[in-house]
Every structure is written in structure tokens, then in C-alpha cells.
Structure 1
């Protein structure tokens, strides 16, 4: 993905602390106070321009959502969506998803969404895939027993790799679709990429995997 430089993005993000959590390490262990409720927390790692996480927050007001995105020039568009929607159950984090352990305590996150992540197709880059075992360990460290990872992609190779990765890690696959839009699945909220790829007739793959209690 080629990113357009937006030198004004940082200033805009800093100007909206009611939507963008500027010092998330200070919220670790007390996100219920940040949202002022005890609702479950679901996070999207790599939230991009925010269409998915905004749609989910609007559809499910009983759940708190956090969109995590590294690039300022991308998450600023998600901020525009949130400003327009003004959803009290959605916050944005402009941080690296590989460092989530700095911002959440064990058990604070109930679900992680991974949508159209970079496939990193070369074998030597496997460790960068967001469904690689080290990332699964990271997500597990944030969740209670039974926490879930929900994954969508248009990339068949990445999907096959991810199913294998989930299984080898000991996760329970509770949902697998090789053609989401023709599966009868209800309540799907599309990302920007999903709209683009499905409009071209490409399949969308989706899975849900649950962490199991450790012996």
C-alpha cells in the first residue's frame, strides 16, 4: 500500500483526544474507566481508514471497540469517520500492533479482528504476518480464556497459512468460510478493501478461532 504523506495528520490526531487515545500506556488496566463502562472490548489490528471498526461500533453499541493503526496518514481518515459518527464506544490508537502488551492487561480484550492484513507472501517474511505464532501469543496475552480472533482476507495463501497457524497454536476453529459473501453469514460489516475486491468478483475468506485454556 502506497501511503500519501499528510504532514498535518499528527496535529489533527492530537487535537481530538476524545477520540484518539494519545497516551494509551496510561490506560493499561483501566480501559473500563476510559470508556466509563464495563462492556467487552474488541480491537481491530490494522484498522486502516476505519470503515469496519466504525460500522461495528455503530452496529453493536453494547461493545467497546478500539481501532489500532500505525500510520498517521491512514488513521486520520478513520478519525474523520469517527468525528462524523460520534460513537461513544469507539476509540483509536495510533500505535504499532506488535506492542499491544504495553497498552492492555491480561483479560482486557475479548476479541481481536484482523482484516485484509498484509500477506507477506515470501517465506522469509512469515514472522511479519499478523497470524504468525508470535502474534497469536501476543493476542492471547491480552485475553481471558476463550478469547477470539476473527480474520478476513482475499488472499487464499494467507488464509490457508492462517488456518494452519491457528490449529498448530492449539486454537479451536469455530467458523470457516471459503466464500463469505455467498455463505449466508449475517451481520457482516465490510472493510474498504472488502468492498473493492468483492466488487471484482474475488472471494472473501473468513475464519473465527478461539484460544483454549492452558493445562
Structure 2
């Protein structure tokens, strides 16, 4: 869906300290942004922020970073976290392909990827956020034992993602082709997930852990 340009979005975001418009200035120093030593969880492609807001409310002892590209989406994330009076969330407007430029070794403790673009054409597969091309990027800044939590409604993407992770140094801890009937308890629904579920669609989910390189 093509978003209509909201010219007021960037000025509103730039007024808030919760939005980091120059994230490369903080590479290796993200704990300073939050002013604590709590673990940092990262959501790649955060949509309008319902998922990360609920997680941040439920887990005040964790820090969260939401990344997406469009100001037209991120401005609503900002409004949600301000309304909830959260101080453990930061927003970064960024093309995810440049993710390694803003984080340093061992800075991130979990990655969430929810309903990303499936890029179904073979020539576009490398753009998938679960593709080995991106897993290689994540390995540069996640801690050993870091988990990736991934949700999608696309069966082909899900099957491919299981293979990408299994063959690239990650241990599959749990996966299901029907999340809402799986008994998996700590699920926080996204906006897309609610919409798909209302349409009777099955949601696929996995979590995988980065293996310790010393094992």
C-alpha cells in the first residue's frame, strides 16, 4: 500500500528526544541513550507501533528500539509511546539494509521481525529480512544466545526462513504454522496480525537462538 506523504511527520518527530534521526552517532553507545544497562530488544519494521508499545509496557526492565523507513508510519509509533508515557523505547527512521552502521558488537539481545515483505520473486529473495544476507548483518551486533522472533502469514517465506536460520548458525527453539492454536503464551499481536486473524488466516511463528560460536 502506497502511503500518502505527510510533510508534518518529520518535524513532529524531530521535536522528540524519543526519535533518533542521526543513529550513526550512537554506534556502540546505545546504553547511554537509555541511561541504564538493561538489555536492548530491536524490532525491524515496526509498523504503527502497537507491538513494541505493548511489549515496552509489559517489560519496563527492557529497552526497545523500533526501526522503520517511513516517517508517515513512525510518527504514529511516536504518538503511541508518548501517550503511554514510555521512556524505554526509541525510534529510528532507517533503511534496514544499513543496520550494521548503527550498532556495534553485542549491543542487541533480541530481534523481532513481524510480517515483513516476502519478496516472492527469486531475484528479490536477498531482500528478505530473514535471508542469510541479513542474518550475516545481525551477527555483527547481536549477543551470543540472542533470539530472533519471526511472524508471517506467508508459507513460502516461512519455510525458507526456517532453512535460512537452520543453515546459518541458529538453533530453532520453537516453530508453528498456526500460532494462535499452538499454545505459545507470550504472543503480542500486531496490527496486521489482528487483521489477518479476523479474516481466518493462520499465522506462522518461529523463534531461533544464535548458537554460541564456542560450542
TM-score, reference length from structure 1: 0.96
1-structure distance, mates of 2:120, 2:173: 26
The answer as to whether partners of 1:50 and 1:77 remain within 8 angstroms in 2 is yes
Partner of 1:80: 79
The answer as to whether partners of 1:140 and 1:147 remain within 8 angstroms in 2 is no
Partner of 1:189: 188
1-structure distance, mates of 2:211, 2:114: 22
| Cα deviation 1:186-206 (Å, max 9, x = unaligned) | 121111000000111100110
2-structure distance, mates of 1:10, 1:201: 36
TM-score, reference length from structure 2: 0.96
- Does residue 154 in structure 1 map to residue 153 in structure 2? yes
SS in structure 1 of the partner of residue 86 of structure 2: coil
Which runs of 5 or more residues in structure 2 are unaligned?
Answer: none
Q: How far is the alpha carbon of 1:134 from its aligned partner?
A: 1.0
1-structure distance, mates of 2:139, 2:182: 28
Which runs of 5 or more residues in structure 1 are unaligned?
Answer: none
2-structure distance, mates of 1:22, 1:4: 21
Q: Which runs of 4+ in 1 moved over 3 A?
A: none
* Structure with greater strand share of residues: 2
Q: RMSD in angstroms over aligned alpha carbons? A: 1.0
Q: How far is the alpha carbon of 1:146 from its aligned partner?
A: 1.2
Q: How far is the alpha carbon of 1:22 from its aligned partner?
A: 2.2
Partner of 1:11: 11
Query: Which range is displaced more, 64-73 or 4-13?
Result: 4-13
